[in-house]
Structure 1
Amino acid sequence: MKKKMLAGAALLSAMALAFTGCAGNTSPGASGEPGDGGDVIKVGFAQTGSESGWRSANTESMKEAFSKENGFDLVFNAADNKQEAQIAAVRSFINQGVDAIVIAPITVDGWDDVLKEAQDAQIPVILEDRTVSASEDLYASWVGLDFEQEGRTAGEWVKENFDGKGANLVILEGTTGSSAALDRATGFGEAIKGTDINVLDSQTGDFTRDGGKKVMEGYLQKYGKDIDVLFAHNDDMGLGALDAIKAAGLTPGKDIQIVTIDAVKDGMTALANGEFNFIVECNPLLGEKAAELVKDVLAGKTVEKKTIVEDQSFTQEQAKEVLDSRPY
């Protein structure tokens, strides 16, 4: 009888230990800070789309940073540059009860309602790459580039090389209403203000190679050999324009000089080959910093409201020197 009682006690003890063990593994924060090898952090990432080489590199950086190996469960959505689809994706993330949301906003406006919904659901939002016009208290932090300075740097090169020559300039703008397009236009305009550089035309190519080619074809039909210089808000539009310039029997980099922003592999190759003349970098590798911000916010740490990643710029000779070592 005594042996049976002891065996029963041992069984109850083992069951109690097993129950305690299971409870310990599933309780929130049982293993310390989120993502430290214990709790998995579920993150919804609303990307703009896949409109350019830069965007592809940015997406790859984000997927790598928010990997399972790093303690994340990533729910990814690319909105094909349609803001209504991107906002719908964010609402889906909220309904799924993710731990945090990361957004690369397609345009600056129209975010107030859905950001408030995320806030009401107590889901922190991190913005990456582009910014929004909504109140800063609706999101936890932003990490990205200084688009206005990028435009200013491009404009300063154009000013240095074309002021005093009465040069004719055409511009390929990025997605209408995006912070990248708005800020780059502002910075560039400030840099060439007061010069004799004549802006013949400025239209959107929507940050795509095809869009850049189509708009440039229109420019060439309208202005022909009067165009001296092209400023494209990104490499992909510049590469599309390059094709249009060649098709028109002109030599890119000579007959029409080309200044772009991004410094992705294809753009840097065109620069090293003398078909582009100057590129301002826009670093797409924002994933690691975005993931760090998510972990810090969820751990209750104080984070900077804005984190700006530094950019470089490249001449043709500099592009030749660094092309083989570029990570994107």
Structure 2
Amino acid sequence: MKRLIYLVFGLIVLLMLQGCTSREEGSVPAPSIDSEAPPAISEWLKSSASSVNPEKPITLGFSQLGSESAWRLANTASVQDAAAESGIHLIIENAEQSQTKQFEAIRSFIQMKVDVIAIAPVVESGWEDILLEIKQAGIPAVILDRSVNVKDTSLFVTTIGSNLYEEGVKAGKYLIDRMRNQPGPIRIAELQGTKGSTPSIQRGEGFRSIIAAREDMVITQSAPADFTEEMGREVMRTFLDVPAKERPQVLFAHNDDMALGAIESIEEAGLRPGIDIIVISVDGSRKALQQLAAGKLNAVVECNPLLGPQLMQTAKEIMAGRTLPKRMVPPEDIFTQERAAEEISKRKF
């Protein structure tokens, strides 16, 4: 009986050993996502793996025209801050008031194959060829702050910036109202910006279109002062270096910096800015509003430099394939002495 038990036990062990040997010699496939996971989970894992890398950020090349004024510095800071907040990769080049340098920067942007090119043009003319190069490279262009004078407006997507002509109109309307009870002739001096620039052209045209209603209002002196405080000071000295009866009664400066420099020259000449000479400027900087509150400026037409958020949103809309209006204008105001004090704390530049 014991032999039979040992024999049965031996057969069982032998069978178990053979089973183990067959498993070792056979090929057992390793578990995998495709073979073991349910189809839906498998596809989800595949799609997740393919989207691990974040989407490439938009690259924006921006040709800034310079750093000639407080307005321009605020404009640059607005673009830089908005790019950082929106996750857009910004490459910015300062042209230092040179259109040639702007062309060089733009061609470098084309070589880099940026997604969008933004340009704050130094002057209006001479842009046709370089904009054509941008278009042929397949890169959308946006004009910021100023305008370009081209026959083919399809060379750029949109323009973001103030209605510069309307700014001149506002300045003219203020003057007409201010001098409504004063008999002429009324002599006006004009400090223009950079010669050939959009603000200089359009602000001057808008201003003239209004004062033309009074034949006794005459612009007796006009000269460019490059939008800088130093040049405003120097040119105003030449305006005042005339016989007293020929001195201007009004100064229209195309920006605050030139007006601030001119105010110094008016005081050097022993005159009272804001009283002996009515002073009107454009921009709305904190420093100008301080002089407005002090009575040395009479009116400041607002020109908003904080265009960065609009530019970044425009870049995103373009890359999303959306249609944009050809011109986008921010809301703006005009400040008088009565409103100056309450506005100073609100200014960001």
- Relative to structure 2, which stretch is displaced further, 138-147 or 190-199? 190-199
Specify the alignment match of 2:158 in structure 1: 141
Specify the alignment match of 1:209 in structure 2: 229
Specify the alignment match of 1:270 in structure 2: 291
Q: Is the 8 A contact 1:271 1:278 kept in 2?
A: yes
Q: Deviations over 1:145-173 (max 9, x none)?
A: 11001001101111222353322110000
> Structure 1 residues 9 and 88 mapped into 2: Cα distance closer, same or farther (>3 Å)?
same
Question: Are 2:270 and 1:254 aligned?
Answer: no
Specify the alignment match of 2:217 in structure 1: 197
Specify the alignment match of 1:288 in structure 2: 309
Q: Return the match for 2:98 from 79, 82, 92.
A: 82
Structure 1 SS opposite 2:305: coil
> Structure 1 residues 4 and 275 mapped into 2: Cα distance closer, same or farther (>3 Å)?
farther
Take 2:28 and 2:248, find their aligned partners in 1: how far apart are those partners? 97
**For residue 252 of structure 1, what is the amino acid of its counterpart?**
P
Unaligned runs of 5+ in 1: 32-37
Q: Is the 8 A contact 1:48 1:80 kept in 2?
A: yes
Specify the alignment match of 2:137 in structure 1: 121
TM-score normalised to structure 2 length: 0.84
**For residue 344 of structure 2, what is the amino acid of its counterpart?**
L
Q: Is the 8 A contact 1:175 1:207 kept in 2?
A: yes
Structure 2 SS opposite 1:296: helix
> Structure 1 residues 141 and 279 mapped into 2: Cα distance closer, same or farther (>3 Å)?
same
Q: Deviations over 1:54-95 (max 9, x none)?
A: 11111111111111x412110011111111111111111111
TM-score normalised to structure 1 length: 0.89
Which consecutive aligned stretches of 4+ in structure 1 deviate over 3 angstroms post-superposition? 1-10, 17-26
Q: Deviations over 1:10-51 (max 9, x none)?
A: 8xx9xxx9997675456xxxx7xxxxxx33111001111100
The aligned runs of 1:217-256 (5 Å cut-off) are 217-224=237-244, 226-256=247-277
Specify the alignment match of 1:166 in structure 2: 185
> Structure 1 residues 139 and 2 mapped into 2: Cα distance closer, same or farther (>3 Å)?
farther
Q: Deviations over 1:215-234 (max 9, x none)?
A: 00111113556221100000
Number of residue pairs matched by the alignment: 315
> Structure 1 residues 156 and 4 mapped into 2: Cα distance closer, same or farther (>3 Å)?
farther
Question: Are 2:169 and 1:152 aligned?
Answer: yes
* Displacement after TM superposition at 1:2 (Å): 8.0
* Displacement after TM superposition at 1:144 (Å): 0.6
Unaligned runs of 5+ in 2: 1-23, 37-43
Q: Is the 8 A contact 1:213 1:240 kept in 2?
A: yes
Structure 2 SS opposite 1:159: helix
CA RMSD of aligned residues (A): 2.4
* Displacement after TM superposition at 1:320 (Å): 1.3
Question: Are 2:42 and 1:42 aligned?
Answer: no
Larger Rg: 2
